[in-house]
Amino acid sequence: MDSLLQWFQTPAGRDLARIEQQAVSDCLHQRLMTDPCAFVVRVGGSWLGDKVLRQAPTARCWALDWEAVAGSDALTGLELLPLRKRSVDLLVLAHALDCSTDPDSLLREAAEVLAPEGDLLVIGFNAWSTWGLRHLRGGPVSRWRQLPGAAGMALAVERHGLERRHQAYHCLQLPWPKGTPRPQPNRRWEQRLAPVLAGIHVLRARKRCPAPISMKSLWQSPADTAPGRLAQPTSRTRAHVQNRKT
């Protein structure tokens, strides 16, 4: 973790941090348009700073980290989040899967703490790209063989009941300071090779929950009306009985 934080202080790391800040800001802005009082939780990503979360004054924002770093509100594990189930409206995993010893358990935990129609934003290295291999050499990716990569992340998210909404790829250059990462691939061949060679993937997913069916409304459904000019039956009242006697 220390090597990852140190790398984000380099010129290439600061350029990448700006790309990730923009991705978090766009996702947060879209969420606040429909839910101004959303509960937003960021796991990891202390290099993103608090500026992104401060743009949502009406929302409740927490910053969790698995190590004591500046800007974090509480410590958390990477397999068990200290959050109630179905309570989070927007959950941001900033390279948390890269540092987790069990990425699949973390995705399962993320799906459980998300509220219905809640959003999940995953930012991570592509383990088989030049960026992923570089950080494997540096040590922050502890279980890189368990990471599905950028192309398989969508399948891993859908396996836990989440619907993929958007997926973007960044950083096709080498991960050294002289190569400034472009925001997105802009050539046709780069777009085709991005899921395999892109250094960073940003995935946005949503927790879809089917609406419950009201059995009472089905049981009390109105009866079909008789065709023609037949009058519908009505309840007998005292006035009907008196009129009949007279």
Question: Contact 165/117 with Cβ under 8 angstroms?
Answer: no
E strand spans, 29-144: 39-44, 60-65, 74-75, 88-94, 114-125
Query: Of the given ranges (112-116, 188-192, 223-227), which has the lowest mean pLDDT?
Result: 223-227
More confident residue, 210 or 47: 47
Contact 35, 11 (CB under 8 A): no
> How far is the CA of 72 from the CAs of 8, 48, 81, 203, 219, in angstroms?
17, 11, 14, 23, 52
What are the φ/ψ torsions at residue 33 (nearest 5 degrees)?
A: -65, -30
Percent of the chain residues past pLDDT 90, beyond the cut: 22
Higher pLDDT, 102 or 178: 102
122: pLDDT strictly greater than 50 = yes
The two structure tokens encoding residue 216: 């009472």
Residue of higher predicted confidence among 189 and 62: 62
CATH architecture of the domain formed by 2-207: 3-Layer(aba) Sandwich (3.40)
Helices 149-159 and 188-197, axial angle in degrees (round to 10) = 70
Q: How far apart are CA 196 and CA 169, in angstroms?
A: 10
Q: Which helix (H) or strand (E) holds 213?
A: none
Residues forming beta bridges with residue 203, ordered by sequence position: 122, 167
Contact present, 10 and 149 (Cβ < 8 Å)? no
pLDDT at 64 over 60: yes
Predicted confidence (pLDDT) per residue in 146-199, tens digit: 555 655 777 888 888 899 998 887 766 655 555 455 555 556 655 566 666 677
Domain boundaries, the chain: 2-207
Position 140 confidence tier, pLDDT thresholds 50, 70, 90:
very low
Phi and psi angles of residue 145, each rounded to the nearest 5 degrees, phi first: -70, -20
Q: What is the pLDDT of residues 2-27, one digit of tens each?
A: 567 887 888 878 888 888 999 999 99
User: Would you say the pTM of this structure is higher than 0.95?
Assistant: no
Looking at residue 204, what is its pLDDT? 94
